Structure 1
Amino acid sequence: MKKIKLIICFLMLSNCVFAQNWEPEVIPLKAQQIRAMLTDTINDKLYVAGMITYFEQGGSINDGVIGVYDGNSWSYIDTINDVITSMVMFNDELYIAGFFSLINNESFYTIAKWDGSQWHEIDVDSRIIRLRVIGDYLYAMGNFSEIGGIEANKVARFDGNQWQSLDFPELNPGPYLIDIARYNDEYYAGGNYTFAPFEDKVGNLTVYRDGGWQKVGEHDRLWGGFTNVAIMEVYKDNLYVGGPINKGEGNVAQGIQMWDGERWFSIGDLQLQPGLLSNTRVTDMFVHDDRLFVLGNFHFVDSLPAKNIATWDGERWCSFPGTIWFSSLLGPVMSMYRDTLYVASSDTFNGVYTNKLVRWVGGDYVGDCTDIITPTPMETSSNEEISQKQTGIQIFPNPTQSHISISLPESLPEVGISIYDATGREVYRRENFTYDSKIQLDVSGFIPGVYFVNLNSSEKRYYTSFVVKE
Structure 2
Amino acid sequence: MRYRLALAILITSTASAQSNWEGADMPYLSFGVRQLYADTIVDQLLATGPIAIVNDFNTPVIANFKSGEWSYVQGFGGGGLYTSVRFGDTLVVGGYFHTLADEPINLLAAWYDSTWHNFGQFPSEGVVRKLRVVNGDLYAVGSFHTVDGSVCHGVAKRVGGHWEGLGSIDYPIGDEPIVLEVCEYQGNIVVGGEMNPIGLGNDLMQFDGTNWLDVGGGLLGGVGAVTCLAVYQNELYVGGGLYVGAGSPGHGLVRWNGSSWSDVGGSMRDIYGTTTYNASASSLLVHDGKLLVGGAFGYAGTLHANQFAIWDGSTWCATGDSIGGTVESMAFYHDTLFIACTDSLDGQAVNYIGRWIGGVFEQVCEQVGIEELLEESVLPIGIGPLVSERRSLFGLPDGSVQLRVFDATGRLINSEVVVSSAGRALMHTGTPVPGMYVVEVISKTYRGVARFVSTQD
Both structures adopt the same fold (TM-score exceeding 0.5) = yes
Deviation at 1:21, TM superposition (A): 0.8
Aligned equivalent of 2:395: none
Pair 234,14 (structure 1): closer, same or farther in 2 beyond 3 Å? farther
Conserved 8 A contact 2:188-2:209? no
Pair 345,204 (structure 1): closer, same or farther in 2 beyond 3 Å? closer
Aligned equivalent of 2:45: 46
Deviation at 1:237, TM superposition (A): 0.9
C-alpha distance in 2, partners of 1:64/1:209? 37
- Output one character per residue of 1:253-280: Cα deviation in whole Å (capped at 9) or x when no partner: 0011111111111122101124999632
Aligned equivalent of 1:272: 270
C-alpha distance in 1, partners of 2:209/2:31? 45
Pair 355,153 (structure 1): closer, same or farther in 2 beyond 3 Å? closer
Aligned equivalent of 1:234: 231
What count of residue pairs does the alignment treat as equivalent?
Answer: 351
Pair 88,341 (structure 1): closer, same or farther in 2 beyond 3 Å? same
Pair 316,131 (structure 1): closer, same or farther in 2 beyond 3 Å? same
State how 1:54-453 maps to structure 2 within 5 Å: 54=53, 64-81=60-77, 82-115=79-112, 117-121=114-118, 122-125=120-123, 126-172=126-172, 173-174=174-175, 175-194=177-196, 196-198=197-199, 202-209=201-208, 211-218=210-217, 221-267=218-264, 268-274=266-272, 279-326=278-325, 329=326, 332-349=328-345, 352-371=348-367
Deviation at 1:298, TM superposition (A): 0.2
Flag structure 1 segments of 5+ consecutive residues without an equivalent: 1-11, 56-60, 374-470
C-alpha distance in 2, partners of 1:164/1:80? 25
Deviation at 1:211, TM superposition (A): 2.8
C-alpha distance in 1, partners of 2:245/2:16? 38
State the secondary structure of the residue aligned to 1:20: coil
- Output one character per residue of 1:323-354: Cα deviation in whole Å (capped at 9) or x when no partner: 1113xx5x721211111111122334465331
- Output one character per residue of 1:181-215: Cα deviation in whole Å (capped at 9) or x when no partner: 21111222222224x312xx513222223731122
Conserved 8 A contact 2:230-2:285? yes
Pair 225,67 (structure 1): closer, same or farther in 2 beyond 3 Å? same
Write the letter of the residue equivalent to 1:365. Answer: F
Flag structure 2 segments of 5+ consecutive residues without an equivalent: 1-11, 370-457
C-alpha distance in 1, partners of 2:203/2:14? 39
Write the letter of the residue equivalent to 1:337. Answer: Y
State the secondary structure of the residue aligned to 1:248: helix
| TM-score calculated relative to the size of structure 1 | 0.68
State the secondary structure of the residue aligned to 1:34: coil
Pair 352,244 (structure 1): closer, same or farther in 2 beyond 3 Å? same
Conserved 8 A contact 1:84-1:98? yes
CA RMSD of aligned residues (A): 2.9
Write the letter of the residue equivalent to 2:267. Answer: D
Pair 63,211 (structure 1): closer, same or farther in 2 beyond 3 Å? closer
Deviation at 1:113, TM superposition (A): 1.6
- Output one character per residue of 1:369-394: Cα deviation in whole Å (capped at 9) or x when no partner: 12459xxxxxxxxxxxxxxxxxxxxx
State the secondary structure of the residue aligned to 2:35: strand
Deviation at 1:225, TM superposition (A): 4.7
Deviation at 1:177, TM superposition (A): 2.1
Matched, 1:28 2:27: yes
Write the letter of the residue equivalent to 1:84. Answer: L
C-alpha distance in 2, partners of 1:48/1:79? 15
| TM-score calculated relative to the size of structure 2 | 0.70
C-alpha distance in 1, partners of 2:249/2:94? 32
Conserved 8 A contact 2:183-2:191? yes
C-alpha distance in 2, partners of 1:62/1:28? 18
C-alpha distance in 1, partners of 2:286/2:181? 16
- Output one character per residue of 1:67-92: Cα deviation in whole Å (capped at 9) or x when no partner: 11123222211232443222111112
Deviation at 1:62, TM superposition (A): 12
Pair 348,253 (structure 1): closer, same or farther in 2 beyond 3 Å? closer
